[in-house]
A = this chain, B = another copy of it.
């Protein structure tokens, strides 16, 4: 399958991109590096906290979503995405706990051809991450810069 370029992005299209699980070891290892709050790294402190047990850093959940997105893009084949200028609105809705599986679904919200660079555009996306119980744990309204298929600009 060839990769996806700007002209392949259809507003309203929803894709289930894949899923990935987080072990307690992974949750603690990430948090020790980037977010060493007690409820992410210390079982006893986490049990006493308002979470009632170890929970993943929200940044770990977000990075895990990114991994699913990138794995899917690589499976699609080389395509037009060349980076992201950032995003609007990321929400952490429910704690992610050891053993949870995160499922990522992304919908194309808007395709905005560049007015100055005819070979590219911005794709606005709505991503939703659910756990194995179908509960929404994270949502993000993102943006990606995407090239047109080579030779078509």
Question: Using a CB–CB distance below 8 Å, which chain A residues touch chain B?
Answer: 33-37, 50, 57-59, 62-64, 66-67, 70, 74, 82-93
Contacts and interface: CB of A to CB of B under 8 A. Distances in A.
B91 A85 contact: yes
B89 A84 contact: no
B67 A33 contact: yes
Count of identical protomers in the assembly: 2
Contact of A34 (B58, B66, B74, B92): B66
Which applies to chain A's interface (DSSP): helix, strand, loop or mixed? mixed
Contact of A59 (B33, B59, B83, B85): B59
Given A86-B89, A90-B86, A34 B63 contact: yes
A59 B50 contact: no
Smallest CB-CB A-B distances: 10 pairs: A86-B91, A34-B63, A59-B63, A34-B67, A86-B90, A86-B92, A35-B66, A59-B66, A34-B66, A88-B89
A139 to B, nearest CB: 8
Given A86-B90, A87-B90, A89-B88, A35 B59 contact: no
